[in-house]
Amino acid sequence: MRGISLGAVEGLMGSDNVADLKISALHKYYGAVHAVRGVDLEIPAGEFTVLVGQSGCGKSTLLRTIAGLEDIGSGDIAIAGEVVNDLPPRERDIAMVFQNYALYPYMTVYDNIAFGLRARKTPQAEIDARVRARGARCSPSTTCSRDTRAQLSGGQLQRVAIGRAIVRNARLYLFDEPLSNLDAQLRDEMRGEIKRLHQELGKTMIYVTHDQIEAMTMADRIVLMRDGRIEQQGAPLDLYERPATRSTWRASWARRR
């Protein structure tokens, strides 16, 4: 399957790129487990930020609190200047791509991509224009009428999941280890496609991974987490050349001979 061709998207997606994110003194508990410990983070509009760290460091939990899928213990999450602590996920204007795709197997590709738009009562003509434009960017083997219960590859399923997120024209896009179920060749291909998508849309994107190569090659800024805290953040080369602590050195890609 060939990659997604990123054609003229702006006309369908709109031009509102305001999507600042500010997290202040955020704590998250699971019973006695302190999963996120006083995180402060500001992400400017249009940035591609990668949260990276070993399993259990709190990166996916942090992402889920931004999405509203997890309650917070204390602190504030503000999107475009609005504190969203008490808003349910559907009211945060966020689109999220999951590791396991989270598609509806009884629906066609078209209906999966259109699902969020229909839930927001988007006019049918607009739904059709957006979904057909997205479907045209898939390979011919992934037509909009195809049932997702059919033998779609992992790469095809993930493209449908990304298409469902992109047609939303959300103000913030979240990716929770979306490529971890793909083989090495497909991961490499999809990394490039997601980056091209970011460059064309100009939207704020937050991407979670434990893969150091993904972090280094995709990020405008890397946020390295450890034990529920941010250990270091900065441009990829900054973390590579100037790790802040010895543990950062060990946990990151910065080990040199």
By C-alpha distance, which of 219, 220, 227, 218 is closest to 245? 227
Whether the model clears a pTM of 0.75, i.e. scores above it, the answer is yes
Residue partners of 57: CB distance under 8 A and separation at least 6 = 225, 226, 227, 228
pLDDT in tens, 185-197: 888 888 988 998 8
pLDDT value, residue 134? 64
DSSP for 118-172?
Answer: HHTT--HHHHHHHHHHHHHTS-TTS-TTSBTTS---HHHHHHHHHHHHHTT--SE
If you search the block for the tokens 């600042």, which residue do you land on? 20
pLDDT in tens, 61-70: 999 999 999 9
pLDDT value, residue 153? 77
Mean pLDDT for the chain? 83
- pLDDT of 135 > 60? The answer is no
At residue 137 the predicted structure's pLDDT band, cuts being 50, 70 and 90, is low
- pLDDT of 177 > 60? The answer is yes
pLDDT value, residue 107? 84
User: Please, are residues 51 and 226 in contact by the beta-carbon 8 Å criterion?
Assistant: no
- pLDDT of 119 > 60? The answer is yes
By C-alpha distance, which of 50, 20, 42, 63 is closest to 218? 50
**pLDDT cut 70: percent of the chain above it:** 81
pLDDT value, residue 207? 97
- pLDDT of 229 > 50? The answer is yes
- pLDDT of 14 > 60? The answer is no
Which of the two residues, 248 and 56, has the higher pLDDT score?
56
State the first-to-last Cα distance of the chain, in angstroms, to the nearest integer: 39
pLDDT in tens, 17-43: 444 899 999 999 999 999 999 999 999
pLDDT value, residue 61? 97
Average pLDDT over residues 225-234: 95
pLDDT in tens, 60-110: 999 999 999 999 999 999 999 999 999 999 899 999 999 888 888 888 888
Average pLDDT over residues 50-56: 93
User: Please, are residues 194 and 209 in contact by the beta-carbon 8 Å criterion?
Assistant: no
Average pLDDT over residues 40-55: 95
d(CA 210, CA 213): 9
- pLDDT of 127 > 80? The answer is yes
pLDDT value, residue 23? 97
Which bin fits 92, alpha (ψ -120 to 50), beta or left (φ > 0)? alpha
